[in-house]
Amino acid sequence: MKLKLALTALVFLTLTTNAHAAKLKVVTTTADLASIAQEIAGDRASISSIARGYQDPHSVETKPSFLLQLRQTDLLVVVGLELEAGWLPPLLDQSRNQKIRPGTSGYLDVSQGVEILDRPTGTVNRSMGDVHAMGNPHYWLDPANAVRIAIQIQQRLGQLDPSNAAVYSSRLGNFKQRLNEANKRWTAQLAPYRGAKVVTYHNSWASFAKRYGINVVGYVEPKPGVPPSPSHTFQLIKLMKEQRVKAVLVEPYFDLKTPQSVASRTGARVLVLFPSVGATPAVGDYIKLFDRNVSELVKVLR
């Protein structure tokens, strides 16, 4: 009797896990891509991201769960442009999941279909800093690129899971519409500050600045990936005074000491601007991220 019960439970368990497995498993490297994928997939696919929004996506501490997560993934969505080059390749190798190897239909590098800034012309050499030889990987911070990312995810999901293709395509339409409306709001909020000069810590905000007409005149880092040096900081202070720079924008994972000392000597204000969804629980999706960033930016530029 007991055995029969146990067997029934086992069969039931197998059935439910099978039903669960039928749902497409999508893993993204960053929370931003997860948020956009979630908009497209709704409840038709399970979405999770490897890096948390408060982590620097250039360097992520790998944990065993990442391997287990990747092992069962049907679709891996990456930012590309070498953003994840420091930690993803060994994880991918050790996950031993053939479905998500680069070049297969389970691997989607969304940088292929977006507008990339700062693509270096000519040869890149090491004296230029941690320059991404393929262009600026922080392209997701432009809503136009978010739409391009969403379209690529929708197409790939439809291809891997044709039974839900109609759902994905209608959800894409819905997301585009909401994002468009939100973008009109953000553009209007930032319109009075068109041409405003700011300094950023890392070159994370090129796409955002271009979209809303913000003028990035300098960086706290002397070269991308290199910590601030005294002479560079001195020149930056001079430049900020000359150009009357109002704000220093810093990603949450960088040290605030140098930005604060620079700001205190120039009358600018330091603002921690979030480059990723999930940097705090309040910015839980792509639109909320921009809502927060835009309203905070307006406060310091005023």
Partner 1 sequence: MDLLSYLIVPFAAGLILTGIHAYLGVHVVERGVIFVDLSLAQIAALGTTVAYLAGHDLHSTTGYFWSLGFTFAGAALFALTRVHHETRIPQEAVIGIVYAVSAAAAILAMSKAPEGTEHLKDMLVGNILTVSWAEVIRTAVLYAIVGAFHYAFRKTFLAISVDPHAAEAAGINVKWWDFLFYTSFGLVVTSSVAIAGVLLVFSYLIVPSVAAMLFTRSIGKRLAVGWTMGALVSAIGILLSFQLDLPTGATIVCTFGAALALMATYRVLSGRAMIVE
The answer to whether residues 120 and 133 touch, using CB atoms and an 8 Å cutoff, is yes
Selected range binding partner 1 among 26-34, 128-136, 179-187, 188-196, rule: CB under 8 A:
128-136
Total number of residues shown for the chain? 302
Binding mask 273-292 for partner 1 (x = CB under 8 A): --------------------
Asked if 96 touches partner 1 (CB under 8 A), the answer is yes
The torsion region of residue 267 among left (phi > 0), alpha (psi -120 to 50) and beta comes to left
Residue whose CB is less far from partner 1, 133 or 282: 133
Give residues with Cβ within 8 angstroms of 136, minimum separation 6. 81, 116, 117, 118, 119, 203, 206, 207
What residues between 61 and 80 interact with partner 1 by CB under 8 A? 61-65, 67-68, 71
Q: How far apart are CA 17 and CA 101, in angstroms?
A: 25
- Tally of CB atoms within 10 A around 209: 20
Q: Least distance (Å) from partner 1 to the CB of residue 292?
A: 28
Asked if 86 touches partner 1 (CB under 8 A), the answer is yes
Binding mask 34-63 for partner 1 (x = CB under 8 A): ------------------------xx-xxx
Q: How far apart are CA 135 and CA 215, in angstroms?
A: 19
- Residues touching partner 1, count (CB under 8 A): 28
- The 3-state DSSP class for residue 239 equals helix
Q: Where do contacts with partner 1 occur on this chain (CB under 8 A)? A: 58-59, 61-65, 67-68, 71, 86, 90-91, 93-94, 96, 126-131, 223-227, 229
